[in-house]
A and B are shown apart, each in its own frame.
Chain A
């Protein structure tokens, strides 16, 4: 392992992380809800309760880049995957987050913040799977 100092962005990472934590805090303290994106989307698809608040939270995330652009240029967004990889990845993320009852936000941020053992197990699982997948794709298959 070698650290990629060139792309390492500690200050924006800390600032962005703090904002994510603030948003999750507001949502639970004010609305009593977990800011887990996959759960919110899944609940909307299945017409679960509280769709107004859930939909508005998602709308906020959706509109964030447009509001951002009113004030400054968007940060770099680089996607190198082709259509097949994106399709397979999207399907796996959709099915996986619903079976696993959460993603990076629900388990990784909210779940770990409330010391949930399920979220810790889930986070370790998807992190490990992510590390292994990138290793296989980049270093074994050379994709």
Chain B
């Protein structure tokens, strides 16, 4: 049941990205281009997503387990550190270069565009490099 829910949630997530225009890199860059002709659509995507998810997350924060009996696994860390900010800045630079972030990359991976395959391959390399550096750090 949990596995079925996970799949269903993933499908809805992907349909949402496609509907929202998040899966169109040119549109995302139009949102990031404040100084040009600015497309504010993605502000509404974020606002609607947070508006819908706010109450469920408030409920989830107070629970030990999910409705299907899984442990509630919400991040507990609260400190702001250099890794969080530095990593997010690097991510933002990459996002600004191509207009693609991880969710949309997955959602358009199978639409037959070599650009997405290349982007995702490089992204996976980046993640593997991170994992290797973390292992060396111990």
Contacts and interface: CB of A to CB of B under 8 A. Distances in A.
Interface string A1-36: 111100111101111111111111111111111110
Interface residues of A, number: 112
* SS of B interface (majority): helix
A68 to B, nearest CB: 6
Contacts of A10: 41, 44
Interface string B8-31: 111111111111111111110110
A17 B49 contact: yes
Nearest to B43: A13
Given A60-B9, A76-B24, A93-B123, A104 B103 contact: yes
A125 B21 contact: no
B34 A21 contact: no
Interface in B20-66: 20-27, 29-30, 32-42, 44-54, 56-61, 63, 65-66
Interface of A: 1-4, 7-10, 12-35, 37-38, 41-42, 45-46, 52-54, 56-68, 74-81, 83, 85-105, 107-114, 116-118, 121-123, 125-135, 137-139
